[in-house]
Structure 1
Amino acid sequence: MLQLPIVAFAASSVHRTCLKGTRETVLQTIWHWADDDTSEKPIFWLCDIAGSGKSTVAMSAAESWQEKGVLGGRFFFSISSNEASTTEKFCSTIARDLVHHIPELAPHVAGAVKRNLSVMRSSLDEQFKTLITDPLLCRQGRVILVVDALDECKSASQRRKLVEAVSTAVRANKNLKIFMTSRPDPVIDAVLGPLSIKSKLEDRLHDVRHSDNIGDITIYVHQSLDGILSKEKRQKLIDKSNGLFIWASTACRVLSDYTSLIPAESTYNRLVSMDQAGAIDDLYSLIFERVAFEYHAVMYQMLALLLAAFEPLTADDLDDILKHAGVEGSASALVRNLGSVLTEDGTTKQIQFRHPTLVEYLRRCSSNPTVEAHNK
């Protein structure tokens, strides 16, 4: 078992579970699907735009199913991690999870590996069958696997093959269910779209026509900014989010940043004066503008290093690179000043981007001089 490689990326370092009292309607829909043993739809696909809160819902679902003893494993794809943006270690990571969450499967997974020592060189569908599907046949009860942000798997062919493998697996094992999330993706839709075995919940997390979406953001903003902004101003911020949770949560972190020398009122005025409601790029631009101009050059150099790194860097790693490059910068100061968009994992000490929309924003800035000049 120890020979099976795993992805080191820890979803808990950047994702949290839903705030109590939020996403209740969506979660109830998911619980009903998970508990319905008569359903002929073993795949649940939560499909929504970037920043709508899919990963937060996935974290809540995984935590709940772990407490109930039905979670088999989870894999959170991430474009900020080389390992977590491919399927190369997907099956082995899930297999290790199976053993962790369902110890009775340990001899079956170990036996599968022993019978096929070169399994990691096999095709994805063969790995899935050997390491996941076949061992699960020895389990009588329901097992749920969580696959988050499948669209962040960089290879279109890998996304397609994984969805095909998942579809084959649930047909072979009636006790297996798969919960997956993604942005709208034509590759995923081409495989899952025609299938009758999937339940799809689309555009449910951000559509302002659903009153509970705005209600969830209202709860979050009022709890996060109580004592920082007046109730009236908090409400204006809620309206400005336009139903996009990542905008609201990032704005709240900026406004509650006690290390900033810029008054919260000043930042609030900039936020509510933005031309387009829920425009996450404009929010990221504001965050970088708040850093003193004389530090912009080194800040962008450090962000470029984090962006280009094969895997997330620790603060010490980044400081060492800066030292050898002759750049006067501090990784800890970077995280401290950009805490609304960066986080340092308490266990691994790796610096993580809080959301993939930031990675995409920075890449657009680096590849488009017009965007870069505008935001600098």
Structure 2
Amino acid sequence: MRPDRSDEDDNPAIHYGLIASANQLMKDALVRDKLSAEKDVLCFEMEAAGLMNHFPCLVIRGICDYSDSHKNKEWQGYAAMAAAAYAKDLLSRILPIKIEAEKRIGDVLSSEFIVEKNIIKEVHNTAQQTNTAIDILDSDRRREKVIAKLPYAKGSTFDSFDGALDSRCHPETRIDLRRQIKEWAENGQGKSIFWLKGMAGTGKSTISRTVAESLEKEGKLGASFFFKRGEADRSSVAMLFTTICAQLLVKILLLIAHVETAIDADLNISDKSMGEQFEKLICQPLSQIRGHLPLASKLIIIIDALDECARDGDTFLRLLSQTRNKWSPSLQIFITSRPEQQIRSGFAEVPEEIRENIELHEIPQPIIKQDITTFLEHRFAQIQKKYTKDGRSLPSDWPGLEAMLALVDMAVPLFIFAATLCRFIEDEVYSNPTDQLKKVLKYRKMKSDSEMDKLDVTYSPILKQLIDGRPEKAQKSLVKRFQIIVGTIVHLAEPLSRSSLATLLDIDNQQIEGQLSSLHSVLSVPSSAESPIRMLHLSFRDFLVDADRRDTNLFWVDEAETHKMIMTKCLDRMSQRGYLQENICNLPDHGTLRAEIDNRIITNYLPPDVQYACRFWVYHLKESQSYINDKDPVHRFLLDHFLHWLESLSLLGRIMESVHLIRTLQTLVHDKNMEISKLLSDAMRFARRHSSIIDRAPLQVYSSALIFSPMTSIIRNFYINKIPHWIEKLPEVESAWSAVLQTLEGHSDSVSTVAFSPDGTLLASCSRDDTTVKLWDPATGSLQQTLEDHSRSVSTVAFSADGKFLVTDQ
């Protein structure tokens, strides 16, 4: 409480200091005292807040409380009277002439209003720009979130790092062909598919990259996918549509919401059939935004080397044909391939009115000769410039007209010959381009009527120099080393680095490096030992494994034996101590989710070569054309490491592949009565039943998967000791696996009829009430396609005798 004032205390006191003005009432004593201490504030008011920023004035206020929660109006009248009296006294002391000299309040406020209006406009514009930036940022984050859910085939796009060094067409080559492709791309109302076909080495992929690059600059490229045999994610259609969808999301922002909805509705969409992925991730989202896209705007999808897509090329083409009315209003598709039977069969079902065809090997020979001449002249000029820059010299007219004509004749129609010989001639391992050129020209008189003859002329000079001048014994040793190292490289399902290759093959790294040092003209050999080694062209593999040249090609590689050798190396590597074992990554508990595990931890415990072995040992076993038997290495590996193998596949995000891998193993059992056959049958049921939970949490393979398997399960009983010790009482479970192999879910109402295709590879089902027909893969239970064009209920469905057609009663 304040003590009573004496008579002397009634005299006015003057306080000089800072008055704080705010846009809200001060009612908190703690905040008041804090500001008073920090800013040396004497008092607080709020009516004048902001006024002095726009209007120069003196504020006269009456103070009537203590700026705390005890505020009241008892002294407000007195404070107002005191302020008025002071203002009156102040004004009486100002001379009228000084007042007349000042600007009128209206004039001041008018100019200040204009300034304020401009400021407000600027603030509004800034706010709009900020909101736009926030919307874009939110959209980018949302898109990244959606794309993260779509498996992406690394290195499959035309501008990927792996393809950055791949060649493009010289500006003065392929002029007429590129013009035709450009006209097709610009004619949005024309044919929907362009098929560019040609035999190996005729330059299809180079043309694809050139076209893709041009379309990208014009803003017309929707997506690209370059198939490549020998690279797992790029040698099948498994990631084709998810990769294309991810690229389309970058080009068309309107697709994001619709693709997100499709993924949320089916979290396993990326594991579904080709048809279902195409329908839900591409066709349906495009149809939903069609009204918001320019009528003449169509994006181009480029699919390169479709023939290198294992066994699915024709199926893909049939799918495009059957669904063309859904995608053709928004897309055009450019496809390249070799003219192989499977691809020709697929294109035979694509109506001619929607596809355009060009065969590279049927382009007039004079045009091909001129293009190859232009390419060689350009590359030889580069080699000469590089050679001269290094302080050496070549004749000004090198290589000479005669040599040039001979090289062109040797090359036609294979651009791969021209590209390979240029790499061979400029290889820094061999310092004299003139001598290298002479080695090539020795083959000018070789008969080269067929495609393989041309490949012989292309690759023989490169390989022969590996052993030229060496004693016979040394030659045999060098050839053997070549067949092991290079034979492995060309047969891998996915490229490995030098270090990983050395570890897998158990060969010294220096030997690998020595073998590859003189093969830069046929292999992409990065300077880093941790970067993957790749074939520059698939025709090199074709040349090495051609069975017709087994007796004439000293470097011939036996496919089956090489696959068998790689499979054995894979089993050995996985069986080494410290890799495939329970709790590979030393996770804290059985509930640890795979999504929570850092990839660096996985790579630390499972090096790249071990990862490769886990994923592809079954592939190499199958390609070796070997059978498996009781107590052989495969049987022993499964008994020792089956659960560890499933754990590793889960850690790598590949557990869903286990069903296919086990089924492949089943096909390789020589006698179905063997113990290995029974083990694999049980393993199949085990993987089908529990793959979902193992996919989420890898260590559940040792707990819930074992616990909830039937009592008579071979896997359960063999690994019963792997169940965690803290689980004291096991639940009651069924005695044996039920007769139900799999439940197919997809129809929204009752199913009226089912029918198997004549070869048993497809199952058709129809529903009377949801008016759809669905095609299933009975082996995996995956939905292949949904036919929705029926206007009435469908009660009957049947396959034609050849399995090519499906008939319904509507």
Same fold (TM over 0.5): yes
Deviates more, 1:250-259 or 1:84-93: 250-259
Give me the whole-angstrom Cα distance separating, in 2, the residues matched to 1:7 and 1:271. 40
Q: Letter of the aligned partner of 2:189 in structure 1?
A: T
Give me the whole-angstrom Cα distance separating, in 1, the residues matched to 2:487 and 2:437. 31
**Structure 1 residue aligned with 2:628:** none
Give me the whole-angstrom Cα distance separating, in 1, the residues matched to 2:261 and 2:168. 35
**Structure 1 residue aligned with 2:466:** 291
CA offsets per residue over residues 195-222 of structure 1, 9 Å max, x none?
A: 134333332x334634322111011011
| Superposition pairs of residues 143-222 of structure 1, within 5 angstroms | 143-155=299-311, 158-173=312-327, 174-194=329-349, 195-203=351-359, 205-207=360-362, 209-222=364-377
Q: Letter of the aligned partner of 2:426 in structure 1?
A: S
Give me the whole-angstrom Cα distance separating, in 1, the residues matched to 2:249 and 2:404. 46
**Structure 2 residue aligned with 1:272:** 444
**Structure 2 residue aligned with 1:223:** 378
Task: Report if the CA contact (8 A) 1:7-1:89 is conserved.
Answer: yes
Q: Letter of the aligned partner of 2:247 in structure 1?
A: D
Q: Letter of the aligned partner of 1:202 in structure 2?
A: I
**Structure 2 residue aligned with 1:351:** 533
Q: Letter of the aligned partner of 1:190 in structure 2?
A: S
Task: Give the one of 496, 507, 511 matched to 1:313.
Answer: 496
**Structure 1 residue aligned with 2:150:** 4
| Distance change in 2, residues 1:189/1:57 (3 Å) | same
What 5-or-longer segments of structure 1 have no aligned partner? none
**Structure 1 residue aligned with 2:76:** none
Once the two structures are TM-superposed, the CA of residue 179 in structure 1 deviates from its matched residue by 0.4
| Distance change in 2, residues 1:344/1:93 (3 Å) | farther
Task: Report if the CA contact (8 A) 2:229-2:235 is conserved.
Answer: yes
> 1:319 aligns to what SS in structure 2?
helix
Task: Report if the CA contact (8 A) 1:255-1:267 is conserved.
Answer: no
Task: Report if the CA contact (8 A) 2:230-2:491 is conserved.
Answer: no
Deviates more, 1:193-202 or 1:175-184: 193-202
> 1:178 aligns to what SS in structure 2?
strand
Q: Letter of the aligned partner of 1:329 in structure 2?
A: Q
CA offsets per residue over residues 148-205 of structure 1, 9 Å max, x none?
A: 11111121xx2122112222343213121110011112232223235134333332x3
Deviates more, 1:283-292 or 1:3-12: 3-12
> 2:429 aligns to what SS in structure 1?
coil
Give me the whole-angstrom Cα distance separating, in 2, the residues matched to 1:176 and 1:353. 32
Q: Letter of the aligned partner of 1:361 in structure 2?
A: F
Deviates more, 1:178-187 or 1:295-304: 295-304
Give me the whole-angstrom Cα distance separating, in 2, the residues matched to 1:91 and 1:152. 16
Task: Report if the CA contact (8 A) 1:73-1:94 is conserved.
Answer: yes
Task: Give the one of 241, 244, 248 matched to 2:411.
Answer: 241
Once the two structures are TM-superposed, the CA of residue 28 in structure 1 deviates from its matched residue by 0.6
Once the two structures are TM-superposed, the CA of residue 252 in structure 1 deviates from its matched residue by 1.8
Aligned residue-pair number: 369
Once the two structures are TM-superposed, the CA of residue 116 in structure 1 deviates from its matched residue by 1.6
**Structure 1 residue aligned with 2:240:** 90
Once the two structures are TM-superposed, the CA of residue 375 in structure 1 deviates from its matched residue by 5.6
| Distance change in 2, residues 1:123/1:161 (3 Å) | same
Q: Letter of the aligned partner of 1:302 in structure 2?
A: I
The structure with the largest alpha-carbon Rg is 2
Pair 1:250-2:420 in alignment: yes
| Distance change in 2, residues 1:345/1:198 (3 Å) | farther
> 1:29 aligns to what SS in structure 2?
helix
Give me the whole-angstrom Cα distance separating, in 2, the residues matched to 1:149 and 1:285. 25
CA offsets per residue over residues 325-368 of structure 1, 9 Å max, x none?
A: 4686133x444311111113689821110111112222336x96
Question: TM-score, with normalisation over the residues of structure 2?
Answer: 0.43
Task: Report if the CA contact (8 A) 1:364-1:371 is conserved.
Answer: no
Give me the whole-angstrom Cα distance separating, in 2, the residues matched to 1:154 and 1:8. 17
Give me the whole-angstrom Cα distance separating, in 2, the residues matched to 1:56 and 1:46. 12
Deviates more, 1:11-20 or 1:78-87: 11-20
Task: Report if the CA contact (8 A) 2:212-2:224 is conserved.
Answer: yes
**Structure 2 residue aligned with 1:303:** 486
Q: Letter of the aligned partner of 1:255 in structure 2?
A: I
Task: Report if the CA contact (8 A) 1:146-1:180 is conserved.
Answer: yes
> 1:370 aligns to what SS in structure 2?
coil
Once the two structures are TM-superposed, the CA of residue 272 in structure 1 deviates from its matched residue by 2.2
| Distance change in 2, residues 1:232/1:212 (3 Å) | same
Give me the whole-angstrom Cα distance separating, in 2, the residues matched to 1:326 and 1:251. 30
Question: Percent identity, aligned pairs only?
Answer: 26
> 1:74 aligns to what SS in structure 2?
strand
Once the two structures are TM-superposed, the CA of residue 25 in structure 1 deviates from its matched residue by 0.6
Once the two structures are TM-superposed, the CA of residue 247 in structure 1 deviates from its matched residue by 1.3
Give me the whole-angstrom Cα distance separating, in 2, the residues matched to 1:80 and 1:22. 30
Q: Letter of the aligned partner of 2:188 in structure 1?
A: D
**Structure 1 residue aligned with 2:262:** 112
Give me the whole-angstrom Cα distance separating, in 1, the residues matched to 2:150 and 2:555. 47
Calculate the aligned-residue CA RMSD, in Å: 2.6
Task: Report if the CA contact (8 A) 1:217-1:245 is conserved.
Answer: yes
**Structure 2 residue aligned with 1:74:** 224
**Structure 1 residue aligned with 2:698:** none
CA offsets per residue over residues 81-111 of structure 1, 9 Å max, x none?
A: 1221111111111111212333443333222
CA offsets per residue over residues 14-65 of structure 1, 9 Å max, x none?
A: 73221221111111101101101221x1011111111111111111111111
Task: Report if the CA contact (8 A) 2:153-2:233 is conserved.
Answer: yes
| Distance change in 2, residues 1:259/1:57 (3 Å) | same
Question: TM-score, with normalisation over the residues of structure 1?
Answer: 0.89
Once the two structures are TM-superposed, the CA of residue 273 in structure 1 deviates from its matched residue by 3.5
| Distance change in 2, residues 1:265/1:123 (3 Å) | closer
Structure with larger RCO (C-alpha < 8 A, sep 6+): 1
Q: Letter of the aligned partner of 1:30 in structure 2?
A: I
Task: Report if the CA contact (8 A) 2:483-2:556 is conserved.
Answer: no
> 1:177 aligns to what SS in structure 2?
strand
**Structure 2 residue aligned with 1:360:** 542
Task: Report if the CA contact (8 A) 1:315-1:349 is conserved.
Answer: yes
| Distance change in 2, residues 1:99/1:346 (3 Å) | farther
Give me the whole-angstrom Cα distance separating, in 1, the residues matched to 2:436 and 2:378. 16
Task: Report if the CA contact (8 A) 1:45-1:198 is conserved.
Answer: no
> 1:317 aligns to what SS in structure 2?
helix
Task: Report if the CA contact (8 A) 1:43-1:197 is conserved.
Answer: no
**Structure 2 residue aligned with 1:60:** 210
Once the two structures are TM-superposed, the CA of residue 8 in structure 1 deviates from its matched residue by 1.8
Pair 1:25-2:176 in alignment: yes
Give me the whole-angstrom Cα distance separating, in 2, the residues matched to 1:360 and 1:354. 12
Give me the whole-angstrom Cα distance separating, in 2, the residues matched to 1:123 and 1:233. 53
Give me the whole-angstrom Cα distance separating, in 2, the residues matched to 1:267 and 1:178. 43
Give me the whole-angstrom Cα distance separating, in 2, the residues matched to 1:45 and 1:14. 25
Task: Report if the CA contact (8 A) 2:196-2:357 is conserved.
Answer: yes
